[in-house]
A = this chain, B = another copy of it.
Amino acid sequence: MCLSLFWFASDGKWGIVLLDHFPAKIRVFDTTLRDGEQTPGVSLTPENKLRIAQRLDELGVDVIEAGFAAVSDGEMEAVKLIADAGLKAEICSASRGTHGDIDAVAKAGADSIHLIIPVSDLHIEVKLRKTREQVLQITRDMVKFAKSCGLIVELSAEDATRADISYLKRVFSTGIEAGADRVVACDTVGVLTPERSYKLFADLRTSLRVPVVSVHCHNDFGMAVANTVAALRGGANQFHATINGLGERAGNASLEEIVVSLIALHKQKLGIRTEKLYAISQFVSRLTGIYVQPNKAIVGENAFTHESGIHTQGMLAHPGTYEPIKPELVGGRRRLASGKHSGSAGIKAALAEMGLQPGEEQLKEVFQRVKAAGDKGKAVTDADLLAIAELVLGLSKEKPIQLQEVTVVSGNTVTSTASVRLKLNGKEVNGAAMGVGPVDAAINAVKRAIAEVEPIHLEQYSVKAITGGTDAMVEVTVRMRKGDRTATAMGVREDIVMASMDAVLGCMNVLTTDYNNKKG
């Protein structure tokens, strides 16, 4: 426990920095598979839930809320499957305060029950159409019934942060008397602030006699992570969170952000293997279909990417200048990108990787042209940078691989089929291939055409979300590998097949060009 810090401001106003009351052990309760799966549009099969549960177990969370057993047969099956999988984590299922819901949890074989009881007057009167006294009675009866089923009972107060605090405490005390093992105060619509969260949980922690007081935050105002950390500082000793902050509406508190904040900003020890965070974020994103925005903290694609000159110059001198933590801590990786805001140091480093050492004047010229491309609204990939450098350095403007012709046929009664004719170092090569769709067919045909000469591997193919109409611009980005060299390129067109061809051929051209073997 820390000492309090007194401070006095020069105008006579004063305050006391709130004490740190972090508990000795912070429990991590993951609800990706329950509250996270309630994200509109997300449905996971029991098998995919199990795959995510296994990853969460490896990550080291204390509790996995596997689902809401009473919701559907599949949910029941998912909880069963996960409860039987021999994981280290405790397996929990959510439930309303009804015999049927609690029965379902017991039948699913969960270790514990997350028993949700609404406590704000709005929820009690309008949603449940009951009275406060009736809800106290339900709490007592349902906790007893859940205990009689042999379950660990985590009693959760829904909409606790808009409830009368003295009533909230009565619900909890009633539940604890009836045998509840833990209590959870839910900020159901995300209206807490860090100072209110600290105060609420400090109060609950000291006024209730129960081994676990947990916080459960939603992110409607973008405060869920700060509110969760504030609750733990106040003395809560467990938090509910989801991978990628999935959940109803704006989602739940993001597990990865809380974990890394606790470790890096508050020097707390957790049993989480943080180096797995990036991979599990990607895995959950893929299985749920909910995209992680590039500027998402900790696990976004840009979280450790630097473009602006001031930043890349700093990064090349010392990574600490613009990175609060090492990307390896969360299994991420650092990237330096080229663009309008690049400085010459960053561009020089990128060119060196392609085997190009421009003179000072030439570098300046490349630098100007990269900026000019940016001013026209263009993102600058490796392929663009190479094209600019070649122009400036007076190197071969003839691309090793040139597209002569591509034709694709597809439909519901034909297998997508493509033919391509390419010039590879002046020599014509061609290939035809089928695919699962027109893009796949076209790229397969390119691969076949150049396979014998240039063994190049497509590592990543991605298309930015398309919105608007069927004639909207499509942005395709690819990363390809040849031996231990990788490169990126982009294609932007209204036609997804041609955008994909541009990106793939652009990347291949970077990788088949190696100035290390030609000129210094």
Contact = CB atoms under 8 A, between A and B. Distances in A.
Contact of A295 (B43, B245, B265, B468): B245
Contacts of A379: 41-43, 289
B462 A463 contact: no
A471 interface: yes
A306 B407 contact: no
A7 B199 contact: yes
A406 B71 CA distance: 40
Given A248-B306, A249-B303, A412-B501, 10 more contacts: A17-B18, A38-B341, A71-B309, A191-B324, A246-B295, A248-B307, A249-B305, A292-B293, A437-B494, A460-B468
Interface stretch (A132-140, A146-154, A367-375): A367-375
Interface stretch (A202-210, A269-277, A389-397, A510-518): A202-210
A321 B123 contact: yes
A313 B414 CA distance: 47
Contacts of A295: 39, 219, 244-247, 249-251, 290
Q: Rank and list the top 10 A-B pairs by shortest CB-CB distance, nearest first.
A: A74-B375, A437-B495, A226-B226, A222-B257, A251-B295, A72-B371, A436-B494, A407-B411, A250-B297, A9-B206
A460 B9 CA distance: 55
A409 B412 contact: no
A320 interface: yes
A19 interface: yes
A237 to B, nearest CB: 15
Given A289-B464, A405-B413, A377 B475 contact: no
Interface string A18-47: 110100000000000000011111111110
A77 B150 CA distance: 71
